[in-house]
């Protein structure tokens, strides 16, 4: 089966995510854009993944991975992806506990709410999710791999919160892939300094929308083919560079 | 000024078991390593809170004799192992980057 996947989507849990980004609205929008695989990847928390899991299981037409966009100690955003809800929730708990005791002010930073499958708000996360976690890049890789997940540095070309902005180079670590931003794939200027990106070609690339608003979902996506969808099969496809970056048709003209 | 002399004058903890007691010719304060790489001069002491091994990758590229970790932050074990291999000193202070920059400046440029 061919998967059109957008594996970097924020929900209303991320302080910068639109309140309309509920798991159910994300699923409906993704399906309307022709996607059949998505991942929910909020900053430093997976508290909206249980609702996503329930909705996906009942839907049948779209598959879901669960993720977290971790902020490392270096303040690099790293996409982590899992196919097991218990694994992502275990990782979410570790990351949350490691966040500094800085509490969210919804008026300044935005709401951090999590919902059930019917869009009812069931809770609010207290610590500010934009803070860096206590995990550095190497320890994120160790922990996520031990839990069976994938580690993909996010939007590596961007001028903020990326490997290129924070380190200025791509370290020789066991990354499963690198994510290139929407602007990079669309050929525009992502604002980052591409000249300082070293080792970019040493890893497979994927692209995702990094949506914070419903309209952005699926603007770019990654396509691959497998008959056995799992994180393990995606890891193998990435190892063989069998994944391609795509631009949504209505954006190509 | 040499690394050991600076550490002793300012009471800095030396976290690495061995390093070259090299000359510190300049200093640079930043927590963004891409900024360090683009703007610091060679043979500087780096004043930062980034206590992980990637800091050493930049430090070795620019021949820094020492990295000073501020705010008493933890230096990761693999950072210290890398530093010892590269013979770069990792120092630590409870001062923040602002205060450290002033004190180090007075010693090496004052």
Q: Enter the ipTM.
A: 0.77
Phi and psi at B30, nearest 5°, equal: -170, 150
Which residues in chain B touch residue A173, judged by CB atoms under 8 angstroms apart?
none
Which residues in chain A touch residue B38, judged by CB atoms under 8 angstroms apart?
168, 196
DSSP class of residue A87 equals H
Spatial separation of the C-alpha atoms in residues A217 and A8, rounded to whole Å: 9
Spatial separation of the C-alpha atoms in residues A164 and B84, rounded to whole Å: 26
For A20-32, the pLDDT digits (tens) are 999 999 999 999 9
Q: Which residues contact A50 (CB under 8 A, 6 or more apart)?
A: A85, A89
Spatial separation of the C-alpha atoms in residues A46 and A67, rounded to whole Å: 7
Q: If pLDDT is split at 50, 70 and 90, which confidence band does A251 have? A: low
**Is any Cβ of chain B less than 8 angstroms from the Cβ of A7?**
no
Question: Using CB atoms and an 8 Å cut-off, which of residues 61-90 of chain A contact chain B?
Answer: 73-74
Interface touch B32/A165, C-beta < 8 Å: yes
Tell me which residue has tokens 């954006």.
A251
In order of start, what are the domains of chain B with their CATH numbers? 3-108 (3.40.1390.20)
Give the closest-approach CA distance of B58 to chain A in angstroms.
Answer: 8
- Is the pLDDT at A99 greater than 60? The verdict is yes
For B36-52, the pLDDT digits (tens) are 988 999 999 999 999 99
Concatenate the DSSP letters of all residues of B60-74 into one string.
HHTT-SEEEE-TTPP
Which of A166, A192, A198 is the mutation pick for testing B, counting most B CBs within 10 A? A166
pLDDT at residue A109, rounded to an integer? 87
**Domain coordinates in residue numbering, chain A:** 2-69+78-151+207-252
The pLDDT of A61-68, averaged and rounded, is 98
- Is the pLDDT at A196 greater than 90? The verdict is no
Nearest alpha carbon to residue A80 among A23, A36, A142, A18: A142
pLDDT at residue B38, rounded to an integer? 87
Spatial separation of the C-alpha atoms in residues A206 and A79, rounded to whole Å: 11
The pLDDT of A209-215, averaged and rounded, is 96
Which residues in chain A touch residue B78, judged by CB atoms under 8 angstroms apart?
138
- Is the pLDDT at A19 greater than 90? The verdict is no
Q: Which of A73, A167, A193 sits opposite B33 (nearest CB)?
A: A167
The pLDDT of A36-54, averaged and rounded, is 98
- Is the pLDDT at A191 greater than 70? The verdict is no
pLDDT at residue A250, rounded to an integer? 74
pLDDT at residue A192, rounded to an integer? 59
- Please report which helix (H) or strand (E) contains residue A4, including its range: strand A2-9
Spatial separation of the C-alpha atoms in residues A42 and A162, rounded to whole Å: 16
* HSE-CB of B66 using CA atoms within 13 angstroms: 32
Task: List the structure tokens of A245.
Answer: 């970056």
- The average confidence (pLDDT) of chain A is 93
pLDDT at residue A248, rounded to an integer? 93
For A134-183, the pLDDT digits (tens) are 999 999 999 999 999 999 999 998 888 999 889 988 998 999 999 999 98
Residues of chain B whose pLDDT is less than 70?
Answer: none
Concatenate the DSSP letters of all residues of A186-222 into one string.
TTS--SS-GGG--SGGGS-EEE---BSSGGGTTSEEE
**Which CATH code, of 3.40.50, 2.60.40, 3.30.200, 3.20.20, is assigned to A2-69+78-151+207-252?**
3.20.20
**Is any Cβ of chain B less than 8 angstroms from the Cβ of A168?**
yes
Nearest alpha carbon to residue A206 among A151, A163, A168: A151
Q: If pLDDT is split at 50, 70 and 90, which confidence band does A253 have? A: very low
Interface touch B34/A165, C-beta < 8 Å: yes
| pLDDT above 70: percentage of residues in chain A | 94
pLDDT at residue A169, rounded to an integer? 87
């Amino acid at each position: 089966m061919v998967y059109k996947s957008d594996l970097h989507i924020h929900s209303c849990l991320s302080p910068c995510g639109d309140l309309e980004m509920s798991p159910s609205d994300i699923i409906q929008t993704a399906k309307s854009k022709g996607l059949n695989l998505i991942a929910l990847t909020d900053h430093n928390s997976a508290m909206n993944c249980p609702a996503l899991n329930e909705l996906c299981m009942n839907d049948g037409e779209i598959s879901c991975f669960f993720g977290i966009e971790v902020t490392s100690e270096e303040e690099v955003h790293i996409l982590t992806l899992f196919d097991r809800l218990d694994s992502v929730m275990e990782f979410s708990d570790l990351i949350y506990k490691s966040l500094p005791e800085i509490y969210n002010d919804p008026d300044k930073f935005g709401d951090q709410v999590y919902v059930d499958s019917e869009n009812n708000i069931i809770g609010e996360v207290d610590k500010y999710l934009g803070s860096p976690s206590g995990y550095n890049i190497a320890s994120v890789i160790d922990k996520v791999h031990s839990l069976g997940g994938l580690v993909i540095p996010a939007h590596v070309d961007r001028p903020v919160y990326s490997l290129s902005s924070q380190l200025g180079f791509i370290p020789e670590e066991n990354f499963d892939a690198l994510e290139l931003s929407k602007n990079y794939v669309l050929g525009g200027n992502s604002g980052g300094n591409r000249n300082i990106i070293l080792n970019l070609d040493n890893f497979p690339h994927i692209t995702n929308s990094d949506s914070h608003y419903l309209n952005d979902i699926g603007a770019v996506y990654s396509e691959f083919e497998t008959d056995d969808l799992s994180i393990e099969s995606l890891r193998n496809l990435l190892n063989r560079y069998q994944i391609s970056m795509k631009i949504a048709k209505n954006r190509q003209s | 000024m040499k690394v050991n002399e600076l550490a002793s004058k300012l009471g800095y903890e030396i976290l690495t078991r061995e390093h070259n007691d090299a000359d510190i010719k300049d200093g640079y304060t930043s927590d963004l390593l891409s900024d360090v790489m683009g703007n610091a001069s060679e043979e500087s002491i780096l004043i930062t809170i980034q206590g992980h091994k990637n800091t050493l990758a930049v430090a070795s590229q620019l021949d820094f004799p020492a990295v000073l970790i501020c705010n008493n932050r933890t230096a990761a074990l693999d950072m210290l192992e890398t530093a010892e291999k590269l013979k770069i000193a990792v120092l630590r202070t409870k001062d923040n980057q602002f205060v450290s920059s002033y004190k180090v400046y007075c010693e090496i440029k004052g």
